[in-house]
């Protein structure tokens, strides 16, 4: 979603120029293409946009093929749902492009039965992809109407292994910690300590980090068995900022 004072057109151009995406957001559960047509579009999305790049985990490719992405966008944009681009979906927010969703999912290395935290539910699309990997997904969205909408769409699609909560994701979800993986879809300037604390030894945190007005980097942080952390940068990105009281306090003056 564009930052306050930034037009959607300018923000979109900036993101597309980088070939990147920003936070997933509200879903509109409207009928999209017919079943045969949308299945074909999903298959083409996977083969042309993901498998030809660096998405090579077969389980991730199958998850991306399985989730009806057009259900997570307004009906008027359903025909564009499978293009490799973010789309506006109301509330001044967007759904991430398929490649970034697939990349973050692959980096998280989800195994069946894993307990996964997602910070930034938005549309629920990323949560649905994670759920396709047979994980138990706990997803937090700071905008309450988006949280309610995402939960409704996920339930309509039969995802019973996803729980959505309206709240401040900076603090994580300690009641369900520790997590085998944490996926964050908005950028803090510094990695929130609560998320590191709630990561299980051997677990992975996938998160964009950096200031709002400049390039950020997508990082993977792995917690070692002794509790130490190993962080690596994957690609430069441009995400919206992680919001909430604690996140604002953490920003550089």
> Is 214 one of the catalytic residues?
no
Q: HEC profile for the chain?
A: CCCCCCCHHHHHHHHHHHCCCCCCCCCCCCCCCCHHHHHHHHHHHHHHHHCCCCCCCHHHHHHHHHCCHHHHCCHHHHHHCCCCCCEECCCCCEECCHHHHHHHHHHHCCCCCCEEEEECCCCCHHHHHHHCCCCEEEEEECCHHHHHHHHHHHHHCCCCCEEEEECCHHHCCHHHCCEEEEEECCECCCCCHHHHHCEEEEEEEEEEECCCCCCEEEEEEEECCCCCEEEEEEEEECCCECCCHHHHHCCCC
Q: Which of 96, 111, 139, 231 is catalytic?
A: 96
> Where in the sequence numbering do the catalytic residues fall?
96
């Amino acid at each position: 979603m564009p930052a306050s004072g930034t037009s959607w057109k300018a923000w979109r151009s900036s993101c597309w120029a980088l070939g990147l995406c920003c936070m997933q957001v509200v879903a509109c559960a409207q009928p999209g293409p017919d079943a045969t047509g949308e299945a074909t579009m999903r298959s083409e999305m996977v083969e042309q946009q993901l498998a030809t790049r660096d998405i090579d985990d077969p389980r991730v490719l199958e998850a991306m093929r399985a989730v009806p992405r057009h259900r997570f966008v307004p009906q008027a944009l359903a025909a564009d749902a499978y293009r490799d681009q973010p789309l506006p979906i109301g509330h001044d927010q967007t759904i991430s492009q398929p490649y970034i969703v697939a990349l973050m999912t692959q980096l998280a290395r989800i195994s069946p039965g894993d307990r996964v935290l997602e910070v930034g539910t938005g549309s629920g699309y990323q949560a649905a992809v994670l759920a396709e990997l047979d994980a138990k997904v706990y997803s937090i969205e700071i905008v309450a109407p988006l949280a309610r909408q995402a939960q409704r769409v996920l339930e309509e699609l039969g995802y019973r292994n996803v729980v959505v909560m309206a709240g401040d994701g900076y603090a994580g979800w300690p009641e369900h910690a520790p997590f085998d993986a944490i996926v964050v879809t908005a950028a803090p300037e510094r990695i929130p300590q609560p998320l590191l604390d709630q990561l299980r030894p051997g677990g992975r945190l996938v998160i964009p980090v950096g200031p709002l007005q400049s390039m950020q980097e997508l990082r993977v942080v792995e917690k070692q068995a002794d509790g130490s952390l190993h962080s690596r940068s994957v690609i430069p990105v441009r995400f919206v900022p992680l919001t909430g009281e604690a996140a604002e306090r953490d920003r550089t003056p």
